[in-house]
Amino acid sequence: MSEFCLAKKVRVQWLILLSLLGSAAISFAQGTITFNFEGPPTISPGTGTLVTSYTESGMQFLPLAPATQFARYGPGIATSPQNGTAYLKALEDNSLKFFFLNGVIFNLHSGPEFSGLTRVEIPSYGWSLDKLVVSIPEPAASSLLVLGLLSLWALGGVGRRRGRM
């Protein structure tokens, strides 16, 4: 095999290895996250504002078309949920969708029927979200085995190339 072809094969193996490690970094981000809706900009107690988007801990919240906005309230409004944190709420025809910006799969802590999600859509009005809790599942053992085998294959190609020089 020519040195050019061997160098190309090694580059391909390194690219595969780097992409696998990148996907592994995303998949190892498991755990539980609570969204309190208190990120920037801060909402003062007893006030609210209409927003076109909100992002917290890598999760993005957007209106679901045809809606163009939703409300974000600070704590202390007498007719609304009160646990001391900010919250999101529908007004009139507001709807909502939310998802992780990196596309990671998540589970809602509302019940087993809300697992393995990539996004959630709330297509109606009359909703509010306060202290949303999600978890990111651990990768399956078979996924880790495949990742390990592919990594060994990619690194094995590098060792063979060095041995020939």
Q: What is the pLDDT of residue 113?
A: 87
DSSP state of 153: H
Interval 18-52: pLDDT, tens = 454 455 444 445 789 999 999 898 899 989 999 99
Is the predicted pLDDT of residue 153 greater than 70, yes or no? no
pLDDT of 4? 57
The more confidently predicted of residues 51 and 139 is 51
* SS3 category, 136: strand
Compute the distance between CA of residue 33 and CA of residue 104 in angstroms, rounded to an integer: 13
Do residues 83 and 131 make contact, with C-beta atoms less than 8 angstroms apart? yes
Judge whether residue 54 has pLDDT over 60.
yes
Say yes or no to pLDDT of 133 above 70: yes
| pLDDT reported for residue 130 | 87
Q: Is residue 101's pLDDT more than 90?
A: yes
Alpha-carbon span 61 to 98, nearest angstrom: 4
Contact 151, 24 (CB under 8 A): no
How are strands ordered across the β-sheet holding 59-62? 54-56, 59-62, 96-100, 120-122
Task: Report which of residues 86 and 84 the model is more confident about.
Answer: 86
Q: For position 61, what pLDDT does the model report? A: 96
Could you check whether the bond before residue 63 is cis, i.e. omega within 30 degrees of 0? Answer: no
Distance CA 129, CA 110 (A): 12
pLDDT of amino acid 62:
95
How far apart CA 140 and CA 101 sit, in angstroms, is: 22
